[in-house]
Structure formats: C-alpha cells, structure tokens
Amino acid sequence: MDEIAPRKINYLRLSVTDRCNLRCVYCTYWQDWQKLPATEIMRYEELLRLAAIAAQNGISKVRVTGGEPLVRRGVVDFLRQLHQVPGVTKVCLTTNGVLLRELAPDLYDTGLRHLNISLDTLRRERYRQITGRDNLAAVLGGLERAASLGFHPIKINCVVLKGINDDEVLDLARLAQDRPFQVRFIELMPTVSQEWWRRHFWPINEVHRRLTRLGPLIPAGQEPAAGPAINFHAPEFKGEIGLISTRDGHHCPNCNRLRLTADGKLRPCLLSQAEFDLKGLLRLGLGDDVLAYLFQEAMELKFNRARVSPELSLLPSWPMVSVGG
Ligand code: SAM
C-alpha cells in the first residue's frame, strides 16, 4: 500500500444523468450498455440532500456532470439550488456544449461561472465522426456565448486520439491564444477495447512535444489542488494550456475528489470499482448520520491508499457516460 497522503478530500463530482445527446466513440463503446431506468436516477432533492451532507463533511467544490447534464430537465433550477447549499463554495459544470448557446444566460443567472466544455476537434466532419452528431457549430456558438456572458474560467477539454485528431493539437491550443481559456489535452483512458485504445492512445509527452512548436512552454503556477492538469503558458497566449496524463498516477496522491454516479453510487476513485450505494440506503429511509458515515468511509479509503486503483481496478468495466467523467 502506498504511503498515506496529506490532503483534504473537498471535491465532489455529481453525475445528474447517464443520458447524452452525443455518442462519442470512446465514451459509448459498450454495445450492450443499457441506459438506467428513470427510477434509478437520483432525483434532484436526493442529490441536494447528499450535497448538503457532503458539505458538512468537508466537500466545498461540486462539479455537475453526466452523461450530458444539460439534457436533464430542471438542471438550471438544480444548479441554482446547489449554489445555496451551505458549505458549497464552488459549483462547476462539465458539458459537451451542444445546448450551451440557448442555456448559457439561464446558467449564468444561477451564479454558475466555472465551465468545462468538451471539444476534440474544430472540423465539422471529424466532429461528426468522433461524436456521431453534426453539432460542431452549436458547440462553438455555445462557447462564444458563454465567453461573452463572462463565464470564467472556461476550460476546453480535448481527448487526443492518435490518427483521428492528433494533427489538430496546435489549432485547438490556439483557442487560448486570444482568450483567457484553458485548453486541456487529455490522454485517452482505457475505457474502450484494448485494441481501440492501443490504436488511438497518444501519450501526453508527445502532445507536449508537438505543442513546443508554439514556442517555449513555461510552466504556469498551479492552483492549490488544481487537479490532474499540468498547466503551461505559450508565448503571447492570453490563456493556458493544460496536459492531463491518465496513466502515470502522478495525481493519485493528491487526488481530492469523490464521484457520485447518476444512480447514486459514491466512488472514491475513477479507476476503481469500489463504491457505496448511497441511493439504496437513502431510499430505505436511513438518516443523514449513516450517509455522512459513508462519505467519511469513502474519504478514508482515499486517505489510506494514496492510489486507490491498482488493487481494485478491473478495467475496462464501464463507459465514462455512466460514471461521469
Ligand atoms: N457530457 C459532458 C461532456 O461531454 O463534457 C460530461 C460527461 S463526459 C463523460 C466528461 C468528459 O469525459 C469529456 O470531456 C469526455 O471527453 C471525457 N471522456 C470520456 N471518455 C473518455 C476516455 N476514454 N478517455 C478520456 N476522456 C474521456
């Protein structure tokens, strides 16, 4: 077992749905993956109760994700209420951006400012090839609208796929040239078939090498508990470039996050199958003290294993769409 890591588990990622309006090749690889029955998806009042319990137990940052969170009806009101939960000081949203153009003003009104937008290509046909949908214009429109409304920070997440979009790394990085965006390149995680992963995995050091064509990359100061990204400034860029390796585990000892799946399973580690069935207990009528105990247990599991995954992970075992990336 690795050494005990000094850290605070203060970040919860809430998946509000397993539904998505895209069919990204690396995310929905599971042919026999079944959508959750609607009754299995956590209701908003249940999520708010768990968020409040989590906040009483040290969570201060909550990210709403999915599936695609913006396809779930009522998500704007939910975000508004999440901002009111005592102890939750930072609310963030991860979205594919398809519905952002129309929803951005309402989202801004909720108090939301932190946006992560997933975008792997700037080419229409390629976008359709990766996501299965012809929605690039909508996403770019959403990004523009969000920027003009004043969302900040806006982080753009690009999964780099060898032989599919690796030739676009510089173009994607240049989204951060004139705007204060953070463009983050992410290694493909093995939540796909071994064969597909081997064919399309492109290591982050290769991405870094390609990016040096922009000029010398200067390491940017890390925010405390900034997450897995290592950030850089490129010459004359207003924004930053982030690199996220998903393999080497360098982030594990500092990982400060828990995940709650759309069906209410609390997971201490993205790469582990360990989970606590909070929805089951909540619907049995158990009290806040029991649920709080399970948050503490999940935190304890992270504390006591700097890296939770190696002994427990059985990848590939689930598509990202179901656990919330
Ligand atoms: N629908 C939202 C979105 O697109 O941002 C939120 C959920 S999505 C599962 C969250 C992120 O996980 C996306 O940025 C997606 O690219 C990333 N993702 C999904 N599968 C992945 C994989 N196998 N490797 C790396 N990133 C992955």
- pLDDT tens for the 325 residues of the chain, in order: 444 444 689 999 999 999 999 999 998 655 566 789 999 999 999 999 999 999 999 999 999 999 999 999 999 999 999 999 999 999 999 999 999 999 999 999 999 999 999 999 999 999 999 999 999 999 999 999 999 999 999 999 999 999 999 999 999 999 999 999 999 999 998 878 889 999 999 999 999 999 999 999 999 976 655 677 899 999 999 999 999 987 766 677 778 999 999 999 999 987 777 899 999 999 999 999 999 999 999 998 887 765 545 444 444 455 565 555 5
Is the C-beta atom of 142 inside 6 A of ligand 1?
A: no
Residue 30's pLDDT is what? Answer: 57
Q: 201 in a domain, yes or no? A: no
- Among 13, 25, 70, 96, which residue has the most ligand 1 atoms within 8 Å of its CB, making it the best to mutate? 96
Is the beta carbon of 65 within 6 A of some atom in ligand 1? yes
Residue 118 Cβ contacting ligand 1 at under 6 Å: yes
Which of the listed residues 117, 139, 320, 323 should we mutate to test ligand 1's pocket, taking the one with most ligand atoms within 8 A of CB?
A: 320
Whole-number pLDDT of residue 325: 58
Determine whether the shortest distance from the Cβ of 189 to ligand 1 is under 6 A: yes
Give domain status of residue 124, yes or no: yes
Q: Is residue 309 part of a domain?
A: yes
Does 206 fall in a domain? no
* pLDDT, position 4: 45
* 81 part of a folded domain: yes
Report the C-alpha gap between 94 and 88 in whole angstroms: 17
Range of the domain at 23: 11-156+249-323
Of all atoms in ligand 1, which is nearest to the CA of residue 319? Answer: 20
pLDDT confidence of residue 314 = 41
Q: 3-state class of 26 per DSSP?
A: coil
Strand order, beta sheet including 230-233: 218-219, 230-233, 240-244, 182-187, 154-160, 114-118, 90-95, 61-65, 11-15, 257-260, 265-267, 276-277
Query: How many distinct structural domains can be found in the chain?
Result: 1
Residue nearest ligand 1's atom 20 by CA: 27
Domain holding 53: CATH number? 3.20.20.70
The pLDDT, as a whole number, for residue 228 is 79
* pTM of the model as a whole: 0.92
Does the CB atom of residue 160 touch ligand 1 within 6 A? no
Angle at alpha carbon of residue 240, lines to 236 and 241, rounded to 5° = 110
- Do β-strands 230-233 and 240-244 pair in parallel, antiparallel, or remain unpaired? antiparallel
Residue 183 lies in a domain: no
